[in-house]
């Protein structure tokens, strides 16, 4: 089969600007979306449920009225009869693994230690009050996203956890999404997606509760709305279109690598997916095998994958050596990084930036995305250089705790007063001067 359409890049041949272009993702510049979400957000802020119903009709092609925005108990009950029992069992299997993983992450509620005699300092962890879990639907149905977002929130102890998701053309919520919400312990599911859904949980409507945080992956519209509303609601870590880097040293089959390149690239035309290798012959072999895997996919998914792997945001990157390969990998800071090699663990010390690192040929991306345990909501757009995967910590906040005894105060106060005087803060300095002890008599 012809490989001429698979995008191929030799790092040594690229100018600095061309190399930088390879690092860009679909959401890197969302200015156009930012301008377009502003009127949507304002409409939801002013009209609430009426605006959500209108956007459901115009954007989702779903005939909803304001009273239909919240999924009813009857819809949950109907979902139980619509979803295959084997899929329900799979959702429960995944939920158990996700719950176990995040329970092991839980920090001690109160951690204290004595730094000096009579000085106790430490941290207290408490859950945030409320969170909205965004579950996309535009290019498919994603009940796994419910489990990956809602379960960590529940484990963290968040009191109010809700799900927002776009309605289907018939005005319904995907039934497996409702089942997943039920398994995760979430009763409130609202039919509002896109920028309008983010606005709904940011401001609250007559039906949708105002939340303190929103998490979950979404389209550039969702990313833009989160950015615009970041002073109103905590948008969480960036979670935009899917992205994957695969590093291989050619010690596994080219067919396996070709197969895995089709995983994240089938999400949509805005995905970013590359193989990075220092073996040019192996790169050609992988490129030859990719079309065989397109032939095994549904037409819509293979079209997405083809668009990505033959476009400017995907393909194969050939490095001159492994040092150059890992320099590119760390600059890219991918959402998913799969190391397909017989001895994959040897490469772990060379990786600094990635949302998720999957080591070895059996560590399939599909397992990690659905049932392994760690959340598949990962930082995108290069944010993995400073951000982390969604975890219980995202649903908790840390408060510093301190207590100073009378004896310790006498040791610390003169130092604090000296700094207060130097920095010109008289109130600070006076509060730790002899005036304090006089005021306590």
| Catalytic residue annotation | 335-336
Give every strand in the sheet of 214-215, ordered side by side.
188-191, 160-165, 130-134, 214-215
Distance between CA atoms of 108 and 93, rounded to whole angstroms? 27
Locus of tokens 């084997």: 86
Q: 392 Cβ partners below 8 Å, 6+ apart?
A: 102, 105, 106, 107, 152, 155, 156
Q: 3-state SS string over 153-219?
A: HHHHCCCEEEEEECCCCCCCCCHHHHHHHHHHCCCEEEECCHHHHHHHHHHCCCCCCCCCEEECCCC
Smallest CA-to-CA distance from 335 within 391, 394, 275, 272 is with: 272
Check if the beta carbon of residue 308 is closer than 8 Å to that of residue 273: yes
Check if the beta carbon of residue 122 is closer than 8 Å to that of residue 171: no
Distance between CA atoms of 191 and 53, rounded to whole angstroms? 9
Distances (CA, A) of 408 to 313, 422, 424: 59, 22, 24
Check if the beta carbon of residue 308 is closer than 8 Å to that of residue 265: yes
Locus of tokens 């293979």: 302
Check if the beta carbon of residue 115 is closer than 8 Å to that of residue 121: yes
């Amino acid at each position: 089969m012809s490989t001429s359409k698979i995008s191929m890049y030799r790092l040594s041949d690229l100018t600095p600007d061309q190399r930088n272009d390879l690092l860009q993702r679909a959401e890197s510049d969302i200015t156009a979306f930012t301008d377009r979400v502003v009127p949507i957000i304002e409409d939801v802020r002013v009209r609430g449920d009426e605006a959500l119903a209108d956007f459901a009709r115009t954007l989702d092609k779903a005939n909803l009225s304001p009273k239909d925005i919240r999924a009813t108990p009857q819809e949950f009950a109907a979902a139980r009869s619509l979803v295959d029992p084997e899929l329900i069992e799979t959702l429960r299997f995944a939920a158990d693994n996700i719950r176990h993983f995040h329970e092991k992450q839980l920090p001690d509620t109160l951690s204290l230690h004595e730094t000096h005699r009579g000085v106790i300092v430490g941290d207290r962890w408490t859950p945030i009050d409320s969170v909205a879990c965004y579950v996309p639907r535009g290019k498919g149905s994603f009940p796994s996203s419910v489990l990956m977002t809602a379960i960590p929130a529940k484990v963290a102890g968040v009191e109010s956890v809700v799900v927002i998701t776009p309605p289907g053309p018939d005005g319904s919520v995907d039934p497996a999404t409702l089942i997943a919400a039920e398994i995760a312990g979430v009763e409130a599911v609202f039919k509002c997606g896109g920028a309008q859904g983010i606005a709904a949980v940011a401001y609250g409507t007559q039906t949708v509760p105002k939340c303190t945080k929103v998490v979950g992956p979404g389209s550039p519209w969702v990313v833009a709305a989160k950015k615009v509303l970041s002073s109103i609601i905590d948008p969480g870590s960036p979670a935009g279109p899917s992205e994957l880097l695969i590093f291989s040293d050619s010690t596994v089959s080219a067919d396996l690598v070709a197969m895995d390149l089709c995983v994240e690239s089938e999400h949509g035309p805005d995905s970013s997916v590359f193989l990075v290798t220092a073996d040019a012959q192996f790169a050609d072999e992988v490129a030859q095998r990719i079309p065989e895997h397109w032939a095994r996919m549904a037409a819509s998914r293979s079209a997405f994958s083809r668009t990505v792997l033959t476009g400017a945001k995907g393909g194969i990157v050939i490095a001159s050596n492994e040092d150059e390969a890992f320099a590119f990998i760390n600059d890219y800071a991918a959402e998913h990084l799969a190391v397909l090699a017989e001895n994959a663990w040897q490469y772990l010390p060379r990786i600094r930036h990635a949302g998720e690192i999957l080591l070895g040929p059996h560590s399939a991306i599909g397992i990690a995305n659905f049932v392994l345990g760690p959340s598949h909501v990962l930082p995108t757009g290069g944010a993995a250089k400073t951000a982390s995967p969604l975890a219980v910590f995202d649903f908790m906040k840390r408060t510093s705790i301190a207590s100073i005894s009378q004896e310790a105060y006498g040791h610390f106060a003169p130092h604090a007063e000296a700094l207060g005087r130097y920095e010109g803060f008289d109130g600070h300095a006076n509060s730790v001067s002899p005036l304090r002890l006089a005021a306590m008599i």
